Amino acid sequence: MIYYLYELLKDYNIPGMGMVQYISFRSGAAVILSLFITMAFGKKLILYLQRKQIGEEIRDLGLEGQLQKKGTPTMGGIIILASIIIPTLLFAQLHNIYILLMLITTTWLGMIGFADDYIKVFMKNKKGLAGKFKILGQVVLGLMVAATLLLSDEVVVREPLVSAKGESVEVMVEDQATGERKLQEVTREVKSTKTTLPFIKNNEFDYAWLVGFAGKQASWLRWLVYALAIILIITAVSNAANLTDGLDGLATGTSAISGATLGILAYVSGNVIYANYLNIMYIPNIGELTVFIAAFIGATVGFLWYNSYPAQVFMGDTGSLALGGILAVFSVIIRKEILIPLLCGIFLVENLSVMMQVGWFKYTKRKYGEGRRIFLMSPIHHHFQKKGIPEAKIVTRFWIVGIILAVFTIVTLKIR
């Protein structure tokens, strides 16, 4: 909204107003406001939840210090959602299709998570929202994202124009500053199912390659494959973030690290100078997402003030489902979804540990008559708790691993 206010008043030469046109300024303002909202109103929300006795129901899993968390206020994800949505509404360009998509994602998954928490807390149903309804909501979101990327004329990528011989088309242009004439590559903006593939020379992967055998049908089949990939990514990452939210500050801190990394990737992908220098895919208008992810970082870091060990509030599914879904949709939009297993490695390992534990238990029960386990407990952070490692140390070490993975993710821009 403030951007549009600038558009109305820019002819009046108000001192300092010109800064609003820059993404860097609006991103900085978004992260500051997000931090302020979380820090200023977080305590009030905690007190309100305590008065309403909206506390976490803790099952006794035999973990040290676990039962001390019983009654800790939950549904704190509400403040995270507010701290993301409000700064985005104020500082982002709301006509940008990518911003609208991220706002829809945040609200949609926040509502699903809220419904789950409401059923657990107010209806006293420990199972919460049925898993099939959660999956259905994530699938519907995936379909909406895929349809938007397919149908919107604003969703394009810039790629070199290629001749019939498969060579890049170049034209001679004159540098206005120096008067020097040089060859410049001709580009075009097209709808594409291309994404970034790490460690490969050309650094790109096209989903169309998966259906190349289909001949004339490949033109629409590639979008079907792309949509299925988007649905799978959103469902997997959103649920993985939900599983990771089992220790104080674990999901919050890990999400902040991943968000900061995606912010860097979005900024360079939306800046034609950096994109050309790094030889990566340039996506017009994608840089505006830096404002959104700045608010996301501010929200998660601010919430960590109250969610770090010992936690004064839990985010609940209201926050965890939304955080995972935001990271998934954001990575899809900036064409970096194949980097998720590396960037969100913590989420991946947590998810795999549960799948391995359940799968092995069922297999051994059928074969030997009794179920056996790979880990002392899953998700894997509880395995380390069972080994006697303090909760705060487990969380800190997971953050360190998350930072290392984030660095590797950024480095993939140049390692090919």
Rounded Cα distance, 341 and 260, in Å: 16
| Crossing angle of the two packed helices 131-151 and 97-121, in degrees rounded to 10 | 170
pTM of the predicted model over 0.85: yes
> What backbone phi and psi angles, to 5 degrees, belong to 174?
-110, 125
When pLDDT is averaged across residues 334-363 and rounded to a whole number, the result is: 95
Rounded Cα distance, 380 and 27, in Å: 35
DSSP track, 52-111: TT-B------S-TT-GGGTT-B--THHHHHHHHHHHHHHHS-TT-HHHHHHHHHHHHHHH
103 has pLDDT over 70: yes
Which is it for strands 170-174 and 181-185: parallel, antiparallel or unpaired? antiparallel
* pLDDT computed for residue 229 by the predictor: 95
Q: Look at residue 308 and give its three-state secondary structure.
A: coil
Owner of token pair 């604003």: 154
Q: Look at residue 184 and give its three-state secondary structure.
A: strand
Q: Look at residue 195 and give its three-state secondary structure.
A: strand
| Crossing angle of the two packed helices 289-307 and 250-269, in degrees rounded to 10 | 160
When pLDDT is averaged across residues 196-224 and rounded to a whole number, the result is: 86
Using CB atoms within 10 A of its CB, is residue 131 exposed (0-12), middle (13-18) or buried (19+)? exposed
When pLDDT is averaged across residues 316-330 and rounded to a whole number, the result is: 96
402 has pLDDT over 80: yes
* pLDDT computed for residue 155 by the predictor: 93
187 has pLDDT over 60: yes
If you count DSSP H runs as helices and E runs as strands, how many of each does the chain have, helices first? 14, 6
263 has pLDDT over 90: yes
Q: Which two tokens stand for residue 382?
A: 């509880």
Owner of token pair 């509880």: 382
- Rg (C-alpha) for the chain, rounded Å, is 23
Q: Look at residue 181 and give its three-state secondary structure.
A: strand
Q: Band the pLDDT of 59: cuts 50, 70, 90.
A: low
When pLDDT is averaged across residues 109-124 and rounded to a whole number, the result is: 93
* pLDDT computed for residue 163 by the predictor: 66
Cα dihedral across residues 166, 213, 283, 262: positive or negative: negative
Q: Band the pLDDT of 177: cuts 50, 70, 90.
A: low
184 has pLDDT over 80: no
Domain ranges of the chain: 2-7+23-154+215-341
Longest dimension (CA), the chain: 82
Q: Picking from 61-65, 93-97, 110-114, which range would have the lowest pLDDT averaged per residue?
A: 61-65
312 DSSP assignment: S
Q: What is the pLDDT of residues 18-39, one digit of tens each?
A: 888 899 999 999 999 999 999 9
